[in-house]
A and B are shown apart, each in its own frame.
Chain A
């Protein structure tokens, strides 16, 4: 079993409201992407974060602006939770010049290195070594910055995960791995991905590396916040890497257009009852942290913001075709 939490770390009421807004922003962003993709407005393909909002939100809430993160092919939620501008994100997904990568990256490669967001990544576990390097850099420069690598349960089968955690453990690096267990690696369930001895607790993969391990309900943003806060605190104080498993579910397919043939009957409904964007506002209203009117106003504000973000993306120009030859190297020699 995972190590038990010594003492629960509670978000303030202000933070709880912020986390609700972040989760709502992710949900509304992704819902618009889903609908507009279905309307053929968006080139390429999309992997959506709907259902997993509590994971990115709880983790990013405890990070400081100076910290680093790496993300995955399912990365929009991490970007929103990090505070990236939804208009520039939308523009990137639409392939526009005003996007974060000027249209060179798209949905799977949104990055804002200035903001410590070292990139979404189309290769499973591809960002884990990069986060390890950011953690190494922090340590060598004598800062207290930490690096968070988000990855799915599927990444635990990749050598890149194991090499990185081994190296981070030997060097006591401030690396935090967040396993987003959404029950599927692509379209295959855990039975086909990992041996039975790991199914109840995927953090077992961190055990040989001496990582601090916690498994939390990934549909409960405060449980994620709590575990992440402890992992980040340890990393800041030189206590080495952590591995936190967030157990949750994705409500969309692996990618948009996936027939979702693999889901069991009743499975979706079971998880839908835990939907953090439905349950958390009820909880905050019940506990008197937020009024129903404030919740309605928050929804209206976020919807307006995202409608404007989509409009920005739609109206932005496509990149000049000649830009295909730019940006490869700093020192020139971009194209033969």
Chain B
């Protein structure tokens, strides 16, 4: 999608989320928000600030600290004519809502013969590099993506945040929408007009010829920085943003890998059974005979996120790690 011909404005991701929710609540009175301290504080990252004043406590609902009933009651409301947008403060707290996610939200439509719409969005955030320690600092989109019946979206840029959040709210399927704490303050050009991005479609964020890097969220920004650096050294890097983790747009990702013959996958989930493994497997199946090297995976070594900065920095993937991985292939 070219930005050239469209009116855009410079916005931070956090402001895009606020504005998008505002527009969707204005457009459709069935849309409402519920979660912990969404009223007043504006949610755990203060992103929702001001929506309470505009829409009141009925549509920006503070819940008790009860993840089971926050998710479960939103599901019941979605099944009966409302369009809830739930906020779960940190993705680690999804575990508290376990049964409702695993056995209710994900299975209700299929198990009942495909006969009902469930327009439910569950917003949460991945967090890495915030010295928040293991329970508040992890990425879990791969965990939910392993459950058939949940569509899983990862937002990364101001532009995709708007298009994907709007698409999620307008979808009649349950959507797990993972934001990332490290990109809330990143800025970029956002089209002013109303638009949605198709859930299940990846985007080529930067075109290149030599190596493909598939990257999500904070790692997408790192990958774009790595591509910029290597471009100065004459290595042309293509960067693909999956946008949706499930269902994954294998076609777009594999096409890029076939073109460049080299592929690095980078994501903030643990390396074993993580997003990287799924994408690497798909690329290997689809593009094996066009690859010059095995697909490389970058992610979190299989440990919980430690607190101390010296420990956390050890396990994080940064731009240098991506550059190094590309150089081993190039």
| Chain A contact residues, CB within 8 Å of chain B | 68, 70, 99-105, 109, 111, 113-114, 118-119, 121-123, 126, 128-138, 140-141, 147, 159-160, 163-164, 166-167, 170-171, 326-331, 333, 336
B128 at the binding interface (Cβ < 8 Å): no
B289 at the binding interface (Cβ < 8 Å): no
Q: Are A141 and B81 in contact (CB under 8 A)?
A: yes
Q: Are A328 and B73 in contact (CB under 8 A)?
A: no
Q: Are A330 and B104 in contact (CB under 8 A)?
A: no
Instruction: Knowing A160-B68, A167-B69, A333-B151, say if A130 contacts B111 (CB, 8 Å).
Output: no
Contact indicator per residue, chain B 52-69, by CB within 8 Å of chain A (1) or not (0): 000000100101101011
Interface of chain B residues 104 through 120 with chain A (CB within 8 A): 104, 108-117
B316 at the binding interface (Cβ < 8 Å): no
B189 at the binding interface (Cβ < 8 Å): no
Give complex CA distance A121, B75 in Å: 14
* Min CB–CB distance B235 → chain A (angstroms): 32
Q: Are B148 and A328 in contact (CB under 8 A)?
A: yes
Q: Are A68 and B68 in contact (CB under 8 A)?
A: no
Set B68, B81, B250: member contacting A129, Cβ < 8 A: B68
Closest 10 CB pairs of A and B: A133-B76, A129-B72, A327-B114, A133-B73, A101-B113, A163-B69, A163-B66, A130-B76, A102-B113, A137-B80
B-chain residues with CB within 8 Å of residue A326 when the two chains form the complex: 114
Q: Are A164 and B114 in contact (CB under 8 A)?
A: no
Our count of residue pairs bridging A and B at CB distance below 8 angstroms stands at: 155
Give complex CA distance A136, B76 in Å: 8
23 cross-chain CB contacts under 8 A:
A68-B80, A113-B79, A113-B115, A119-B112, A129-B104, A132-B72, A133-B75, A133-B76, A133-B77, A136-B77, A160-B99, A163-B64, A163-B66, A163-B69, A164-B73, A171-B61, A327-B109, A328-B109, A330-B173, A331-B173, A331-B199, A333-B247, A336-B248
A-chain residues with CB within 8 Å of residue B151 when the two chains form the complex: 329, 333
Q: Are A104 and B111 in contact (CB under 8 A)?
A: yes
Instruction: Knowing A167-B63, A328-B149, say if A102 contacts B114 (CB, 8 Å).
Output: yes
A-chain residues with CB within 8 Å of residue B112 when the two chains form the complex: 100-101, 104-105, 109, 111, 113, 119
Give complex CA distance A163, B66 in Å: 6
Give complex CA distance A102, B32 in Å: 32
* Min CB–CB distance B250 → chain A (angstroms): 8
Set A100, A129, A130, A147: member contacting B113, Cβ < 8 A: A100
Give complex CA distance A131, B100 in Å: 13
Q: Select from chain B the residue with minimum beta-carbon distance to A121.
A: B104
Give complex CA distance A99, B115 in Å: 12
Give complex CA distance A282, B116 in Å: 43
Set B82, B104, B115, B172: member contacting A130, Cβ < 8 A: B104
B-chain residues with CB within 8 Å of residue A159 when the two chains form the complex: 68
Give complex CA distance A156, B110 in Å: 28
Give complex CA distance A119, B116 in Å: 11
A-chain residues with CB within 8 Å of residue B103 when the two chains form the complex: 122-123, 126
B51 at the binding interface (Cβ < 8 Å): no
* Min CB–CB distance A133 → chain B (angstroms): 2
Q: Are A160 and B69 in contact (CB under 8 A)?
A: yes
B200 at the binding interface (Cβ < 8 Å): yes
* Min CB–CB distance A84 → chain B (angstroms): 13
Q: Are B116 and A113 in contact (CB under 8 A)?
A: yes
Q: Are A133 and B72 in contact (CB under 8 A)?
A: yes
Contact indicator per residue, chain B 76-95, by CB within 8 Å of chain A (1) or not (0): 11111110100000000000
B-chain residues with CB within 8 Å of residue A101 when the two chains form the complex: 111-113, 115
B171 at the binding interface (Cβ < 8 Å): yes
Instruction: Knowing A113-B79, A331-B199, say if A160 contacts B111 (CB, 8 Å).
Output: no
Q: Are B69 and A132 in contact (CB under 8 A)?
A: yes
B13 at the binding interface (Cβ < 8 Å): no
A-chain residues with CB within 8 Å of residue B116 when the two chains form the complex: 113
B-chain residues with CB within 8 Å of residue A135 when the two chains form the complex: 76
Q: Select from chain B the residue with minimum beta-carbon distance to A333.
A: B247
Instruction: Knowing A140-B32, A163-B64, say if A134 contacts B104 (CB, 8 Å).
Output: no
Instruction: Knowing A131-B76, A166-B66, A326-B114, say if A333 contacts B200 (CB, 8 Å).
Output: yes
Set A102, A129, A141, A328: member contacting B82, Cβ < 8 A: A141
